[in-house]
Amino acid sequence: MDKRYSEMTKEELDYELLKLKEASMKKHQAGFFSEAAVLEQKFYMAKSYTLDPSRYLPGQAYQVTGYEGDFTISYMNGVMAWGHFKDSSEEVAFPIGRLTSVAY
């Protein structure tokens, strides 16, 4: 049985990230885009467990890989950042592994 990402060591997560990245690239090259997208989502979730959630602050704006516009965090729940995009009131969540700081 596989371990949850939250139960893995840093080394296990690093190995998992490498496997997921390679598998996603292979699926994408073979034309299996939806399968590649699923592996990419798993990659960002695993990456989130290598990061410190306390460094992601409510009220701060971030870029979300694969999306346009600034994403402002409303609150954190584990490795998930809940918030909204600049021109939307709809609340959505992203794993922190998908967020990068906005540089103005």
In CATH, the architecture of 5-48 is Orthogonal Bundle (1.10)
Q: Over the stretch 38-84, which tens digit does the pLDDT of each residue have?
A: 999 999 999 999 999 999 999 999 999 999 999 999 999 999 999 99
Domain 53-101: give its CATH architecture.
Roll (2.30)
Report pLDDT for 102.
Answer: 77
Distances (CA, A) of 16 to 20, 45, 94: 6, 11, 19
Which amino acid, 17? L
pTM: 0.88
* Burial (0-12, 13-18, 19+ Cβ within 10 Å), 70: middle
Q: How far apart are CA 51 and CA 28, in angstroms?
A: 26
Q: Which residue has the tokens 């609340």?
A: 91
Domain ranges of the chain: 5-48, 53-101
Tens digits of residue pLDDT in 3-29 = 899 999 999 999 999 999 999 999 999
pLDDT for position 87: 87
